[in-house]
């Protein structure tokens, strides 16, 4: 009996404790705290949505804030909004992240950066077959190459900063669609997955300079960009993306700064995001031995959860195609009238509408 108790005790207490102790010594890089107050936070895409919420948050925390985006008007509006809310003046820089020279000028003028927050981004949800290659290239150029441009421009001064003892941060806003590929996001997911490769490699290169990289993974977030995206988003993209609850930009900003300050490499934003980050932990660095413990213990069950999600997604895709087929058959067989809303729902284009109208007459 005593033996049985001892085995049980070993199984549920000693082994996990040994694992936690082991991971405590194992995790690299070591934990770090990154202060925000009185530091220079430079935010790309800081004139709208998540970026604007980040600017508000940083200003309210007592940081010196710079924002960069293309439209000068939107930048001025953002500056006024932050001033009104916090009494703090942010510096604004009008530049396209695709233009290295313009980016370099802005970064040099802004002065040494302590927290480089790369949040700029473009997104159009569309099946790859319907998307022009020029739009694919645009997405990769802005989201991925734009991030390279900013890092190349800002890194030298971050590296040779006055006080190397003070840790500094490079944080990149990815997306949950940068952790798992989603219908309609071939170009966008590729650009956001790319940021992860960039971040993992960069962290190894800059750790010796006390520079710490973070990746933020928001779900659908209620921003002007999101409202625009929704105007012509495939039904299936909406269905699959709704597996993760939507957020407000202010909530994403809060999670982002909590994560940056605690030196997290991976920063999820909601509960589904935590599960998704655990399920896709891969070989990314983990500074927290507690999170590492959860990753190790939960790996198997999360793989099953992931497969369940894939099952629901593929089931939705199959169902949608069946419904569409049934709808088309009904239209042709009955020559019935149909609403343009229905046609749009099943993504039946103008050519198809004309064809059916011809059959009907």
Ligand X SMILES: CCCCCCCCCCCCCCCC(=O)[C@@H](N)CO
Of ligand NDP, ligand X, none, which one does residue 114 interact with (CB within 5 to 8 Å by kind)?
Answer: none
Q: Which residues pair with 22 in a beta bridge?
A: none
Of ligand X, ligand NDP, none, which one does residue 272 interact with (CB within 5 to 8 Å by kind)?
Answer: ligand X
* Identified catalytic residue from 74, 192, 255, 261: 192
Q: Is 51 in the site for ligand NDP (CB under 6 A)?
A: yes
Q: Is 175 helix (H, G, I), strand (E, B) or coil?
A: coil
Which among 21-29, 93-101, 155-163, 273-281 is the span making contact with ligand NDP, rule CB under 6 A? 93-101
List Cβ neighbours of 174 (8 Å cut-off, separation of 6 or more): 192, 195, 196, 215, 216, 217
Catalytic annotation on 5?
A: no
Of ligand NDP, ligand X, none, which one does residue 182 interact with (CB within 5 to 8 Å by kind)?
Answer: ligand X
Opening angle at CA 35, ends 32 and 38, nearest 5: 160
* Torsion angle of the four alpha carbons 108, 113, 119, 121, in this order, in degrees rounded to the nearest 10: 20
Q: Is 245 in the site for ligand NDP (CB under 6 A)?
A: no
Number of residues counted as binding ligand X (CB under 6 A): 21
* Identified catalytic residue from 188, 189, 255, 261: 188
Say if residue 294 is exposed, middle or buried (CB neighbours under 10 Å; 0-12, 13-18, 19+): middle
H-run or E-run covering 212: strand 211-217
Q: Where are the beta strands (DSSP E) in 45-177?
A: 64-69, 91-94, 115-118, 168-173
Please say which residue, 119 or 293, places its beta carbon nearer to ligand X: 119
Asked if 116 and 42 count as a contact pair (C-beta separation under 8 A), the reply is yes
Instruction: Give Cα 158 distance to the centre of its chain.
Output: 24
Question: Measured between alpha carbons, how far apart are the two ends of the chain, in Å?
Answer: 86
Asked if 179 and 277 count as a contact pair (C-beta separation under 8 A), the reply is yes
Catalytic annotation on 248?
A: no
Please say which residue, 150 or 331, places its beta carbon nearer to ligand NDP: 150
Would you state the structure tokens that stand for residue 235, as one six-digit string? 């039904």
CA distance 198 to 188: 16
Q: Is 244 in the site for ligand X (CB under 6 A)?
A: yes
| Residue of the chain from 309, 324, 343, 352 that contacts ligand X (CB under 6 A) | 309
| Residue of the chain from 55, 59, 92, 97 that contacts ligand NDP (CB under 6 A) | 97
Site string for ligand X, 117-156 (x = CB under 6 A): ------x---------------------------------
CB of 66 to ligand NDP, least distance (A): 13
List Cβ neighbours of 345 (8 Å cut-off, separation of 6 or more): 235
Q: Is 241 in the site for ligand X (CB under 6 A)?
A: yes
Which among 33-41, 83-91, 115-123, 156-164 is the span making contact with ligand NDP, rule CB under 6 A? 115-123
* Identified catalytic residue from 174, 175, 189, 288: 174
Nearest alpha carbon to residue 180 among 279, 314, 246: 279
Nearest alpha carbon to residue 142 among 70, 233, 67, 217: 70
Site string for ligand X, 60-99 (x = CB under 6 A): ----------------------------------------
Catalytic annotation on 104?
A: no
Site string for ligand X, 210-239 (x = CB under 6 A): ---------xx-----x--x----------
Residues with active-site annotation = 174, 188, 192
Residues found near ligand NDP in the complex (CB under 6 A)? 44-45, 47-51, 69-71, 74, 96-98, 119-123, 142, 146, 173, 175, 218, 220-221, 223-226
Residues found near ligand X in the complex (CB under 6 A)? 123, 175-177, 180, 182, 219-220, 226, 229, 241, 243-244, 272, 275-276, 279, 302, 305-306, 309
């Amino acid at each position: 009996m005593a033996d049985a108790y001892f085995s049980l005790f070993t199984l549920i207490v000693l082994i996990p404790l040994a694992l936690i102790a082991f991971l405590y010594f194992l995790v690299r890089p070591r934990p770090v705290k990154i202060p925000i107050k009185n530091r220079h936070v430079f935010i790309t895409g800081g004139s709208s949505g998540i970026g604007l919420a980040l600017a508000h948050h940083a200003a309210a925390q007592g940081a010196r804030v710079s924002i960069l985006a293309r439209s000068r008007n939107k930048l001025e509006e953002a500056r006024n909004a932050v001033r009104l809310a916090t009494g703090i003046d942010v510096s604004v820089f009008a530049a396209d992240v695709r233009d290295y020279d313009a980016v370099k000028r802005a970064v040099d003028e802004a002065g040494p950066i302590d927290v480089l927050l790369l949040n700029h981004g473009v997104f159009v949800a569309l099946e790859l077959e319907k998307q022009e290659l020029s739009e694919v290239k645009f997405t990769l150029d802005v989201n991925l190459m734009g991030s390279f441009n900013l890092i190349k421009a800002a890194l030298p001064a971050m590296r040779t900063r006055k006080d190397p003892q003070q840790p500094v941060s490079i944080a990149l806003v990815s997306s949950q669609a940068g952790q798992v590929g989603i219908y309609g996001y071939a170009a966008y997911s590729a650009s956001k997955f790319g940021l992860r490769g960039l971040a993992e490699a960069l962290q190894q290169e800059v750790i010796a300079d006390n520079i710490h990289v973070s990746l933020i993974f928001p779900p659908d977030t209620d921003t002007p960009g999101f409202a625009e995206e929704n105007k012509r988003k495939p039904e299936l993209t909406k269905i699959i993306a709704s597996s993760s609850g939507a957020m407000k930009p202010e909530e994403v900003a809060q999670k982002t700064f909590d994560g940056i300050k605690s030196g997290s490499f991976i920063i999820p934003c909601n509960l589904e995001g935590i599960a998704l980050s655990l399920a896709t932990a891969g070989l990314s660095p983990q500074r927290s031995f507690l999170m590492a413990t959860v990753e190790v213990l939960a790996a198997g069950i999360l793989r099953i959860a992931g497969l369940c999600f894939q099952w629901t997604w593929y089931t939705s895709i199959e169902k949608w195609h069946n419904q569409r087929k049934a709808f088309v058959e009904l239209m042709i067989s009955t020559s019935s009238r149909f609403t343009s809303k229905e046609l749009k729902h099943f993504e039946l284009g103008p050519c198809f509408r004309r064809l059916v109208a011809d059959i009907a007459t």
